[in-house]
């Protein structure tokens, strides 16, 4: 029977893509060799990367004045790349904190610069055990920040910020766990980055979408492979890129296009999340601790009222083909990550299982 994988990342990839990749693993593009074994500078691979960029630009409606980069180092690689590329000796940046990944980005930024260069704003408010995000008025702030950094989807905490951030500085967004899950206006951002291993492809790769004027900011001395200007100049091939991850990302983009693009994903993602949150809200066996307006469509966290049942829940779910539901070690409980590749049937099966488990274990 089918296994549904709810891992937060590396996450389930579209089954159609995996089957296609399996079919051409040993003989890609009629070359008699796998895509992993050919030069990244070969005309076949360059055709692949050109198509990948074209498809991503179409999927996200990326304006002409933005560069699309395929880089190494996942999400965390970009925590440092952003600082090294944009802050220079004296620049300041404002970091919004809404959960564990945005906090990690702050730690990295301070490590590479100083406390004096990094201002933070904690957005989290807790009302009777329910977390919500509250964004203060930013437009009138006098400081001339080089950029504002935030994480619109906190993978660990299950918190998503949907509202637009209004501020006078370029916005840098860590969209590792919600890129292409809903439509966004790229022109509102100075830079968007995402580790690939949730909605894009295998881990290691990261996608960077950067407005060209951002590249004029003074940078700090840094390793060449994380330098945006060099990446632009060399078509993301200053050094050997993660070619297999890039290939699979290209296949995911094709799959997204034939599946109706980001608008179609957004519709299904909203349905999937609603199914799960509605069930949790209607049950006194399970609960969620995020306010309705900040509940993530991608990472649904929930707790069993009686946490003594956690181990049984995970074991029985696994036997039913519902795997990787354990919450992040820092917050405990459960987490169902339901990225683009998770079909609605997977969520239906999870809800059915949760219902049955509650009936069996309810005191
Ligand atoms: N940012 C977010 C929102 C994430 O969810 C993750 C990983 O799960 C990261 C950054 C770090 O990504 P990586 O492990 O690829 O460095």
Residue of 174, 246, 326, 349 marked active site: 174
Would the CB of 174 count as within 6 Å of ligand 1? yes
> Could you give the 3-state DSSP secondary structure of residue 257?
helix
Distance (Å) from CA 244 to ligand 1 centroid: 20
Mean pLDDT over 331-336 rounds to 96
Residue 363 has pLDDT above 80, yes or no: no
Q: Which pLDDT band, with edges at 50, 70 and 90, does 159 fall under?
A: very high
Closest ligand 1 atom to Cα of 195: 15
CA angle 136, 139, 140 (to 5 degrees): 95
Closest ligand 1 atom to Cα of 206: 15
CA 68 to chain centre: 16
329 among the known binding-site residues? no
Alpha-carbon span 52 to 246, nearest angstrom: 8
Q: Tell me which fold the domain 28-258 belongs to.
A: 3.40.640
In a mutational test of the pocket of ligand 1, which residue from 81, 175, 177 has the highest number of ligand atoms less than 8 Å from its CB?
177
155 among the known binding-site residues? yes
Would the CB of 176 count as within 6 Å of ligand 1? yes
- Contact by Cβ (8 Å): 273, 338: yes
Distance (Å) from CA 239 to ligand 1 centroid: 22
In the predicted model, what is the mean pLDDT of the chain? 96
- Residue 20 a catalytic site member: no
Q: Residue 73: its pLDDT value, please?
A: 94
pLDDT tens-digit series, residues 9-47: 999 999 999 999 999 999 999 999 999 999 999 999 999
Residue 60 has pLDDT above 80, yes or no: yes
Name the CATH code of domain 4-14+260-361 (choices 3.40.50.300, 3.40.50.1820, 3.30.70.920, 3.90.1150.10). 3.90.1150.10
Name which residue sits closest to atom 5 of ligand 1, judged by CA. 155
What are the tokens at 324? 């990787």
pTM for the full model?
Answer: 0.98
Residue of 55, 157, 169, 198 marked active site: 198
Residues of each domain in the chain carrying CATH 3.90.1150.10: 4-14+260-361
Would the CB of 151 count as within 6 Å of ligand 1? yes
Distance (Å) from CA 58 to ligand 1 centroid: 25
Name which residue sits closest to atom 7 of ligand 1, judged by CA. 75
pLDDT tens-digit series, residues 106-121: 999 999 998 999 999 9
Q: Residue 212: its pLDDT value, please?
A: 98
Q: What value of ipTM does the predicted structure carry? A: 0.99
End-to-end CA distance of the chain: 31
Residue 180 has pLDDT above 80, yes or no: yes
Residue 1 has pLDDT above 80, yes or no: no
Q: Residue 143: its pLDDT value, please?
A: 81
Q: Which pLDDT band, with edges at 50, 70 and 90, does 336 fall under?
A: very high
Distance (Å) from CA 352 to ligand 1 centroid: 30
Would the CB of 195 count as within 6 Å of ligand 1? yes
282 among the known binding-site residues? no
| 103 contact partners, CB below 8 Å, separation of at least 6 | 97
- Residue 101 a catalytic site member: yes
Alpha-carbon span 27 to 56, nearest angstrom: 25
Closest ligand 1 atom to Cα of 196: 15
Mean pLDDT over 98-110 rounds to 97
Alpha-carbon span 336 to 340, nearest angstrom: 13
Distance (Å) from CA 80 to ligand 1 centroid: 13
Name which residue sits closest to atom 12 of ligand 1, judged by CA. 75
Q: Residue 3: its pLDDT value, please?
A: 96
Q: Residue 139: its pLDDT value, please?
A: 83
9 among the known binding-site residues? no
Residues of each domain in the chain carrying CATH 3.40.640.10: 28-258
Residue (of 173, 183, 247) closest to 209 by Cα position: 173
Residue of 28, 55, 101, 272 marked active site: 101
Alpha-carbon span 353 to 346, nearest angstrom: 11
Percent of the chain at pLDDT exceeding 90: 95
pLDDT tens-digit series, residues 213-247: 999 999 999 999 999 999 999 999 999 999 999 99
Q: What residue spans of the chain are helical by DSSP H?
A: 15-23, 43-60, 74-86, 100-112, 228-233, 243-258, 261-281, 310-319, 344-361
pLDDT tens-digit series, residues 284-319: 999 999 999 999 999 999 999 999 999 999 999 999
Distance (Å) from CA 298 to ligand 1 centroid: 14
């Amino acid at each position: 029977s089918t296994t549904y994988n709810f891992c937060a990342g590396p996450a389930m990839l579209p089954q159609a893509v995996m089957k296609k990749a399996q079919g051409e693993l040993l003989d890609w593009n009629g070359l008699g060799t796998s895509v992993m074994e050919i030069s990244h500078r070969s005309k076949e691979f360059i055709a692949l990367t050109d198509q990948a960029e074209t498809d991503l630009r179409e999927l996200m409606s990326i304006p002409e004045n933005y560069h699309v980069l395929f880089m190494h180092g996942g999400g965390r690689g970009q925590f440092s790349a952003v600082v090294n590329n944009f802050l220079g000796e004296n620049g300041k940046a404002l970091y919004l904190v809404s959960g564990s990944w945005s906090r990690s980005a702050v730690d990295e930024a301070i490590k590479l610069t100083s406390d004096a260069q990094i201002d933070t704003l904690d957005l989290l408010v807790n009302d009777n055990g329910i977390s919500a995000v509250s964004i203060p008025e930013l437009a009138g702030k006098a400081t001339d920040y080089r950029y504002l950094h935030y994480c619109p989807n906190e993978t660990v905490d299950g918190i998503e910020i949907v509202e637009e951030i209004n501020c006078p500085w370029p916005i840098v967004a860590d969209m590792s766990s919600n890129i292409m899950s809903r439509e966004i206006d790229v022109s509102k951002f100075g830079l968007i980055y995402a580790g690939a291993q949730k909605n894009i492809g295998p881990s290691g790769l990261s996608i960077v979408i950067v407005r060209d004027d951002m590249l004029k900011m003074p940078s700090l001395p840094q390793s060449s492979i994380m330098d945006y200007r060099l990446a632009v100049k060399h078509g993301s091939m200053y050094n050997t890129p993660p070619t297999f991850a890039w290939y699979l990302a290209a296949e995911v983009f094709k799959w997204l296009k034939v599946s109706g693009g980001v608008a179609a994903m957004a519709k299904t993602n909203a349905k999937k999340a609603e199914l799960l949150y509605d069930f949790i809200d209607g049950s006194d066996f399970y609960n969620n601790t995020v306010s309705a307006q900040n509940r993530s469509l991608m990472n649904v966290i929930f707790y069993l009222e009686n946490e003594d049942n956690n181990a049984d829940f995970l074991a029985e779910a696994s036997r039913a083909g519902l795997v990787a539901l354990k919450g992040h070690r820092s917050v405990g409980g459960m987490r169902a990550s339901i990225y683009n590749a998770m079909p609605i049937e997977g969520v239906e099966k999870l809800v059915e299982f949760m219902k049955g488990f509650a009936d069996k274990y309810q005191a």
